[in-house]
Structure 1
Amino acid sequence: MNLKEKYLFIKKKSKVDYQISKQFGIKYGLTDYLATVVFREKSKIGKKYFYAHHELVKAYLLKKYGYLLDGYVQTGERISSTGNVWLFWWQGLNEDTPIVVKKCIDSIIANAGDKKVIIIDQDNYSEYVSIPDYIMSKLDRKQITLTHFSDILRLALLSEYGGIWMDATLFMVEKFPRDMENYTIYSIKHNKFSDYHVCKGKWSSFFLACGENNSVLKLFRDFFYEYLKNEDSLITYYLIDCIIAICYENINEIRTAIDIMPTNNENVFELQNNLFNNYNEEEYLKMKINTHIFKLSWKLDFSSDNKNTFYNKFLEDKL
């Protein structure tokens, strides 16, 4: 980040963490600020504060909303070979859609096989799910962001229909593995960041899949709904992961369902980490070991003059 970007980031985080402190208590806002601004999340001390912040958040959520876990009963079919793939781009695809998003969506369509790819946007989401008015009101008032609305939307769609949710910045280089159909829930399980992150690498909210009538996703959805019914702001950016973690840690059936998922897509972040490096076929083949999906971002600086990068191969459809 340049100086201007750093200033804007700090200004935005200060505002967010002030609001968190005001509503939930200073320890919640302070630990987040120390983790993300003062020490940065991936530094040694930053990791400690990041972990501490989300342990506090989970304790708060469990104390206030733990009753939602009572009497949980596991139901759900296995993931279908012909289920829907759900993608989301609020503005709809048009000439202003970032090229990274367009290329990623093209790659998903090309590798979907018998699955139907449905792109959800601001004009059609209500055709598929009915989101409570109090949530839409919070979105209109900017109490929640589009990022968090997409978290709600993925849980609503999956609990209603099953299928696969994929962020629009996921780049596919192979078809979905057939062994997904052996499970009732599935996610990218890369096992990275296990020393501090909320999900410990056991799941990835940017890729979630389930079969029809899945009680796990319904519980996640209902937990998120209940939170937004009662709270005026988000206690953490990673609320969806905290909700999943609480259910994982306190319900044996959910913990088992997540634990039996195989490790997969271990190099999911490696293409983005090397996107502007010189292309190397040997390195790329290493990246693809046990990995058929890569997480990218449309917010990176794409102004490099180097024409022999992984990014240029990506643009030229040569990856």
Structure 2
Amino acid sequence: MSDGIRNPFEGIEAQLRRADRFRDSVDPVAAVAAYRTFTDFVRPRLPELRAAAGLPADSGTRDDGRTIAARDGARADPADLRLYTFWNAPLDSAPPLVQACVGELQRLHADLPTTLTVLDGASARELVEIPDAVARALEQGHPAHFSDFVRVSVLDELGGIWVDATCWAPAPLPAAVAPLLTAGALYPRWTRRQIGNWFIAAVAGTPLIRLQRLTLQAWWESGGGIPDYFLYHRIFEVLYDLVPEFHGQWLAAPTLSAGASHLLQLGMMQPWDPEAMRFVAGASIVQKLSYKYDTVPAGSVLERLVSGRLLTA
């Protein structure tokens, strides 16, 4: 607007421009086709996958999964929930939003025993084994899928909390996560079977995570391609349908709403308001953001975040 008056619709216009960039990211036809592809891939390998995950070769029941959930949930301890994130490049060259989110997570956890570990490809290999076939297939050409494999491997072997480098948390995560880890593993979810994997918590070796890792590894080592960008999620859905114990363990997991965890992203182009931000902070233990935006509206939530100032005060 003219005469030095701020355009009151600037934040809305910026958010609409952002939304248009994500318009084609979800392909329902590809999702259905990928689900069928992974079902055909997993079904004949189930006995081998089950055995490697510590399950009987023959199918169990959902009640068995609930028993696993209770057993592994009892192992959850906030003091053991180390935090991990991943950025496979120097952090000082990362987008401003990534630097701000990682910096805030580091600040939140600096005085706790569970500080944030920022991994890259090299340091991830010091923690867990990354098969050569997986690295060759993914690390350079498909970094998001490489990160997916790193996260599930770290949590399978070590347990803890995985939080994407584009996430913001209103309070330290271990104490917030522990009451939600009663089934041994936790994802944010859109529906009962549709998850997000930008935030995951788990105890080490729990079947819900181990089966995911084993199936991903088998897929990449077989030379499988990327029939759907949300490959990790399609494999989760196939395991949910084909492995009763996996299904039962997930049914026992408390709900962490993916919708509530996107409130900050939906409003990040809007003018900063401390009362609104306190509402967002109370809506979920974690908020998922995106560094894919064009301009930063003056006075917006995003401007405050990338400048390193607190959002809630």
TM-score w.r.t. length of structure 1: 0.74
SS of match in other structure, 2:256: coil
Inter-partner Cα distance in structure 1 for 2:249 and 2:84: 22
Structure 2 segments unaligned to the other structure (5+ residues): 1-12, 56-64
Inter-partner Cα distance in structure 1 for 2:121 and 2:152: 17
Alignment of 1:1-319 (within 5 A): 37=24, 41=26, 50-70=27-47, 72=50, 73=55, 77=72, 78-82=75-79, 83-94=81-92, 96-112=93-109, 113-139=112-138, 142=140, 144-176=141-173, 177=176, 178-189=178-189, 191=190, 194=191, 199-200=193-194, 203-265=195-257, 266-304=259-297, 306=298, 308-314=299-305, 315-319=307-311
Structure 1 segments unaligned to the other structure (5+ residues): 10-34, 42-49
Q: Is the 8 A contact 2:296 2:303 kept in 1?
A: no
Report the Cα offset of residue 124 of structure 1.
1.6
Q: CA offsets, 1:253-312, max 9 Å, x none? A: 2223222322335421111111111123333233233312111112212343x2x21112
Using the aligned pairs only, state the percent identity: 18
For the aligned residue pairs, the C-alpha RMSD in angstroms reads: 2.9
Aligned to 1:30: none
Inter-partner Cα distance in structure 1 for 2:308 and 2:197: 29
Supply the AA of the counterpart residue of 1:313. R
Inter-partner Cα distance in structure 2 for 1:254 and 1:291: 25
Count of aligned residue pairs for this structure pair: 267
Inter-partner Cα distance in structure 2 for 1:182 and 1:61: 29
Q: Which has the higher contact order (CA 8 A, sep 6+)?
A: 2
Q: CA offsets, 1:79-116, max 9 Å, x none? A: 3312321110101322x222211221122233344323
SS of match in other structure, 1:165: strand
Supply the AA of the counterpart residue of 1:54. A
SS of match in other structure, 1:279: coil
Flag the 1:257–1:92 CA change in 2: closer, same or farther, 3 A: farther
Report the Cα offset of residue 159 of structure 1.
1.2
Q: Is the 8 A contact 1:163 1:211 kept in 2?
A: yes
Inter-partner Cα distance in structure 2 for 1:234 and 1:53: 10
Aligned to 1:31: none
TM-score w.r.t. length of structure 2: 0.76
Q: CA offsets, 1:147-167, max 9 Å, x none? A: 110011111111111111111
SS of match in other structure, 1:164: strand
Inter-partner Cα distance in structure 1 for 2:181 and 2:256: 14
Supply the AA of the counterpart residue of 1:68. R
